[in-house]
Structure 1
Amino acid sequence: MCKRGLITDANIAQVIHSRTKVLDLSECDISDCGLSHIAKTCKLLIKIDLNSAKANRTTVSSAGVCILATSCPHLQVVYLRRCPHVTDDAVVAIARHCPQLRELNVGGCSQLTDVSLEALAASRHLSSVNFSRANVTDAGVLSLVAGDCGASLKEVHMNHCGALSDEAIEAVLQCCPNITILLFDGCPKLTERSRIALEESEQANQSKMRQITWTIY
């Protein structure tokens, strides 16, 4: 039912149960109301995929995500791509209440700021984060990678973050020794410094990087 997009707020209570650990709702029409049902029932939830497969998902907000994070402390994987009403409050709640967090996708959540990155810095198991199109700065990225998650991060997506400069790229490369995927397309402030930093990092780490994409301006 998940992949066919048949789960809605109206029937989700009949589909989930107390032992549900994984939910892929990327094709489903779910709102904060549905998240409330999940929060009440699925205390063992490990992964939830609310990435919007098509247009923006405007029915999910920070209110619903906060309830979910508070009630489901075992969450390790949270996907919220293209949920524009998700704000810093949601990310702070996830970081605070889900200590086993490993993957977070909030790409396209354009209201997010450095506050979210500062909160995630303490997530010591975080290996993958996507904050593309967020309203973040170099200071936020530095706070993120200088925190406990710096050693665990392997994948960072920060495409189309217009305020980021070479300092953000250099911070990731210096503080994340296990980074293998680094995506930063559409960041117009980047210069030749980033290319040089990437080359130096690859030489020092014996080409550990598997995927890099960026835009040359």
Structure 2
Amino acid sequence: MTFPLTRAEIANPGIPVLLKSLGCVARHADRFHGDIKALPLEIKDKLVRLMTSHGKVNDFNISELLHPLLTTLDLQNCEVSDSALQQIHCHQLRRILLRRCRSVTTEGVKALASSCPGLQVVDLSGCSFVTDEGIQALATGCRHLEVISLRGCSELSSAALLALSQNCRLLHSIYISETRVTDDGVVGLATGLCSNTIKELQMARCQFLTDRSVMAVLRNCGNIRIFIFHGCPLITDHAREALQNLTGPDKIQQVAPSRVSDQHLCTLGPDAGLEPDVQAVCQGLFIEHVPQQDEIPPLGL
């Protein structure tokens, strides 16, 4: 196959063909190892987006793509490990997505927390080797966190949530489904620094959570809008009774169980097909207890 750009061409940012051929460069970045680093930042940013979408960023080429002004890094389609995270030193980085990057461990998250203190959105869904120690480092090193997804991080316990509750007052969207968190962690969130900022909490399929968690959220998180807790075997009808007790003017308005609010549909997309047992809307709040259903995709991500 004949590649459209020579090394001399890609090293010269003034050549118009460079912009036209970025897609090809992204797909065959290994042919230009050592040359990409010299590209102008605006071109490099476009290349980063293309390469991440094609899953072409890895431990060996990520250093060529990084620069101090980088604000977003979506690596969820890429094969990266702790080595890649240890190369990220971007103080302006605000958003990093590492969903299903299963080679990422606690050590990588600790490195990220120490070198990227401005992080606001972090997605670690499915990173099953990340432990409480990693989230504790993230909580203390990145105090401006607003959105964090820990879904499927099976090694996490309530210690991670307590660290977030004690350090991250701006948190508004938290996803902890399929973790080993207990009531102590959720109560900590509901009564911690972020209790008034939490707008969305998803804690589906958490085997250790009980009605105590639901009650703590309902009592303390006055700005919550989306609250998901289906598939938690220890949560009982007492939680539903609590919702009934909160019905009334300016509180929770009960809606038909087979209907989903417009906001919920926008979140789920047209093919969601959920039939929640309990739905309630309170200034836009959607609360459900739905067995055997996938959770709503994270709004903040």
TM over 0.5: yes
Q: Which residue of 2 aligns with 1:205?
A: 251
Q: Distance in 2 between matches of 1:22 and 1:98?
A: 15
Q: Which residue of 2 aligns with 1:50?
A: 98
Offset of 1:216 from its aligned partner? 5.6
1:214 aligns with 2:264: no
Q: Distance in 1 between matches of 2:245 and 2:76?
A: 39
Residue among 177, 182, 206 paired with 2:227: 182
Q: Distance in 1 between matches of 2:172 and 2:247?
A: 19
Report the secondary structure of 2:148's partner residue.
Answer: strand
Q: Which residue of 2 aligns with 1:157?
A: 202
Instruction: Please give the residue correspondences for 1:27-42 in structure 2 after superposition, counting only pairs within 5 Å.
Output: 27-38=77-88, 40=89, 42=90
Q: Could you tell which deviates more after superposition, 192-201 or 121-130?
A: 192-201
Deviation string 1:8-33 (CA, Å, 9 cap, x unpaired) is 11111111111101101111111100
Deviation string 1:63-95 (CA, Å, 9 cap, x unpaired) is 000110111110000000000001101111111
Amino acid at match of 1:146: T
Q: Which residue of 1 aligns with 2:68?
A: 18
Report the secondary structure of 1:121's partner residue.
Answer: helix
Q: Under a length normalisation based on structure 2, what TM-score does the superposition of the two structures give?
A: 0.67
Residue among 150, 159, 163 paired with 1:119: 163
**Unmatched runs of 5 consecutive residues or more in structure 1:** none
**Unmatched runs of 5 consecutive residues or more in structure 2:** 1-50, 253-281, 293-301
Deviation string 1:147-178 (CA, Å, 9 cap, x unpaired) is 11110000001011111111110111111000
Instruction: Please give the residue correspondences for 1:62-101 in structure 2 after superposition, counting only pairs within 5 Å.
Output: 62-101=106-145
Deviation string 1:159-213 (CA, Å, 9 cap, x unpaired) is 1111111111011111100000111121011111111222334545352244333
Distance change (3 Å), C-alpha of 1:3 and 1:213:
farther
- Verify the 8 A CA contact 1:179 1:208 in the aligned structure 2: no
Offset of 1:144 from its aligned partner? 1.5
1:191 aligns with 2:232: no
Residue among 188, 213, 226 paired with 1:143: 188
Q: Under a length normalisation based on structure 1, what TM-score does the superposition of the two structures give?
A: 0.92
Q: Which residue of 2 aligns with 1:130?
A: 175
Which protein is bigger by CA-based radius of gyration? 2
Q: Distance in 1 between matches of 2:52 and 2:207?
A: 35
Q: Quote the sequence identity (%).
A: 38
Q: What is the aligned-residue RMSD (CA, Å)? A: 1.5
Report the secondary structure of 1:37's partner residue.
Answer: coil
Amino acid at match of 1:148: L
1:103 aligns with 2:178: no
- Verify the 8 A CA contact 1:202 1:209 in the aligned structure 2: no
Offset of 1:6 from its aligned partner? 1.1
Q: Distance in 2 between matches of 1:79 and 1:199?
A: 34
Amino acid at match of 1:76: Q
Amino acid at match of 2:80: I
* Greater relative contact order (CA < 8 Å, ≥ 6 in sequence): 1
Offset of 1:44 from its aligned partner? 1.3
Report the secondary structure of 1:139's partner residue.
Answer: helix
